[in-house]
Amino acid sequence: MKLRRKVYMVAGYNTISMGSGRKEFHPKKPRPGLEDYMKEAGQGVLKQIGGSHHVDECVVGNFIAARYNKQANLAGFFPFIDEGLKFKPCVRVEGACGTGALALATGIKSVLAETADVVLVIGVEVQNSVKAVYGADILAAAGWYKERKDGHAHFFPGKFSDRAGAYYARFGFEKTRQAMAIWFKNAIENARLCPTAQEYHNKVEDLMGLGLMRANPKAFVENLNVFDCSKVSDGASGIAIVSEEGLKKCGIPLSEAVEIKGLGMAEYDITKPPADPTKLETTAVAVKKAMDMAGISKEELATVECHDCFTIAGIMAVEAIGLAEHGNGADFIIEGHTARNGKIPFNTTGGLVGWGHPTGATGVHQAVTIWEQLTGKTGDAQINIPQDRPYGLSINMGGDDKTLVSIVYKKNI
């Protein structure tokens, strides 16, 4: 199935991904709230599209502000962003850590349905409102919460620790750990090139040493160290989804837009464990749907933004895309293929491990990064986009490979 009309993304904007690692962050000092992040991201997009009067609809993606911030009904903040958004149709969507891309999918479908020519999409999360261990309990809602009593105190690190342990057992500990450490190193080095990244200020010299640090199950989880994990983050990202008419309305040339060529969505039963813990089965299905809709092969991809909530998820994503056979994802990474100067650069502004993971914003941030890369707006983090490989791919995952959205983007040549 192909898209019934052309759909584009334009005017991406990221706030700082705030949390430990940023010089501005102090847990005991006042920090921006949900409304502040939404306003900054929203106004950042509106400025690029010529103002709020061009917007037909609004979508906000947020996972669980009702618990982190005791605030619901986030769609009501759009008129706060700009008075010109008053009385516009607005909606809030949720799908755990896959929320941001679900917000994008919602905007894409509005443009396809011809109910809108310009949709303002924002993803936002403020998570540093509680201590990390309490946040782990909040984030457990992204999984089957009835497992919470039997789960690890750090619920999702525990889930992916189990996946890592299964992967070690089947494909070898040393090789897998080496690849996970390289993934971490690449993430931090890429984040150092992006001023909005949470790890932008990271000055550690021996990143491989940190990445190879042995897991301490007494302090954390059995098979992951803390550097294998994305950090607690606050932030927002925004982008506009537009039709051809919307491009004209906003006065934006094709060279400043990326075309959406494929959208793949997939869901797995939240009450069931993965059939094979060494595979991201739902991810693979969503990616295939997106690639099939776009009518392209993996060889045509120039870059990928994948959901590396943990470094082991990066290895499994490489395999889910089909870039390496099952069990060979670690080799693909060790050989340098996912580095920014490799065969197919991944997560060029740091991904979840390096840029940060404000859960409701992550999928939108991925889209902004690919939009920036394909339009040459990434600054120091810019990579080469070959003429014969004008496509980018994003993968946003909610829960433990449960709610998946994958999108294929094309550079306008």
HEC letters along 220-237: CCCCCCHHHECCCCEEEE
> Is it the case that residue 413 has pLDDT exceeding 90?
no
204 C-beta neighbours (distance < 10 Å), count? 11
Residues 6 or more apart from 26 whose CB is under 8 A from it? Answer: none
Asked if the domains at 8-131+232-256 and 153-226+260-411 fall in one CATH topology, the answer is: yes
Instruction: Identify the CATH number of the domain defined by range 8-131+232-256.
Output: 3.40.47.10
Q: Element (H or E) spanning 410, and its range?
A: strand 403-411
Task: Tell me the mean pLDDT in the region 274-283.
Answer: 98
Structure-token pair, residue 412: 């306008």
Q: How many residues does the chain have?
A: 413
Residues 6 or more apart from 47 whose CB is under 8 A from it? Answer: none
Q: pLDDT over 90 for what percent of the chain? A: 93
Residues 6 or more apart from 101 whose CB is under 8 A from it? Answer: 61, 363, 364, 366, 367, 394, 396, 405, 406, 407
> Is it the case that residue 316 has pLDDT exceeding 80?
yes
pLDDT of residue 27: 87
Please name every residue paired with 155 in a beta bridge, in sequence order, or none if there are none.
none
What single DSSP character describes residue 29?
S
Q: Which amino acid is at 37?
A: Y
Do 115 and 109 meet the contact criterion of CB atoms below 8 Å apart?
no
**Mean of pLDDT over the chain:** 96
Residues 6 or more apart from 198 whose CB is under 8 A from it? Answer: 16, 17, 18, 19, 20, 21, 22, 191, 231, 233, 350, 354, 355, 356
pLDDT of residue 149: 78
Chain Cα centroid distance, residue 84: 29
**Domain ranges for the chain:** 8-131+232-256, 153-226+260-411
Task: Tell me the mean pLDDT in the region 124-141.
Answer: 92
Task: Tell me the mean pLDDT in the region 221-230.
Answer: 96
Instruction: Identify the CATH number of the domain defined by range 153-226+260-411.
Output: 3.40.47.10
pLDDT of residue 124: 98
> Is it the case that residue 360 has pLDDT exceeding 90?
yes
> Is it the case that residue 31 has pLDDT exceeding 80?
yes
